[in-house]
Amino acid sequence: YLNNEIALNRTTRSMSIASTVSSISTVSHTSKNSTINQIWNQHPHEKTNSQETTQTTQPNESIGDIDEGFRSKSTEKEEREVELIRYLIISYFNIVRKSIQDLVPKAIMHFLVNYTKESVQNRLVSALYREEFFEELLKEDPTVALERERCKTMLEVYRQASNLVNEAL
């Protein structure tokens, strides 16, 4: 039973992480030139459209301006990566919280309820099997004794009737 629960929790966690990553990429950065798209889709030999437009529209930029542009892009990239990591950590903690919420009642049941059940059963059995109570516990109920006597008399009547029928034939 616990193995099935663990497998179910792992499946839920992996599905949750996948949905988290997909929701981040669709909600936060849907443009074609977003940082996440550049990270996941760009190959080392490809250039981004923003770099091409910068080079074609402003050919007279100084090296300092270009260097500052790269710094702001890397800062934006770092901010988006930090945002992604923060969102993933929050999602992970939510998964852990739900997992603990599932496991706490199981642990209570395992340790507290099962122990109490066994303890009560042992106490009841030890209280029941005292020798001083054997006579009282093994004493036949008066209604059962009357029914047994009635059945004995009926059995004797049936035997006599059977003997009479056998003698007649």
Q: Which pLDDT tens digit goes with each residue over 121-154?
A: 999 888 878 888 888 888 889 999 999 999 999 9
Sign of the Cα pseudo-torsion (34, 37, 41, 43, in order): positive
Sign of the Cα pseudo-torsion (132, 137, 143, 145, in order): negative
Tell me, rounded to whole angstroms, the distance of Cα 13 from its chain centroid: 10
Q: Confirm if 25 and 36 have CB atoms less than 8 A apart.
A: yes
At 29 the pLDDT is 43
User: What parts of the chain have a pLDDT lower than 50?
Assistant: 13-14, 16-18, 21, 24-40, 42-57
Spans of all domains in the chain: 2-128, 139-168
Global model pTM greater than 0.85: no
Phi-psi region of 132 (alpha: psi -120 to 50; beta: other; left: phi over 0): alpha
Instruction: For residues 10 and 143, give the distance between their C-alpha atoms in angstroms, rounded to a whole number.
Output: 61
Token pair, residue 22, equals: 């997909």
Count of positions (residues) in the chain: 169
**Biggest CA-to-CA distance, the chain:** 137
Q: Confirm if 48 and 42 have CB atoms less than 8 A apart.
A: yes
At 43 the pLDDT is 45
Instruction: For residues 159 and 169, give the distance between their C-alpha atoms in angstroms, rounded to a whole number.
Output: 16
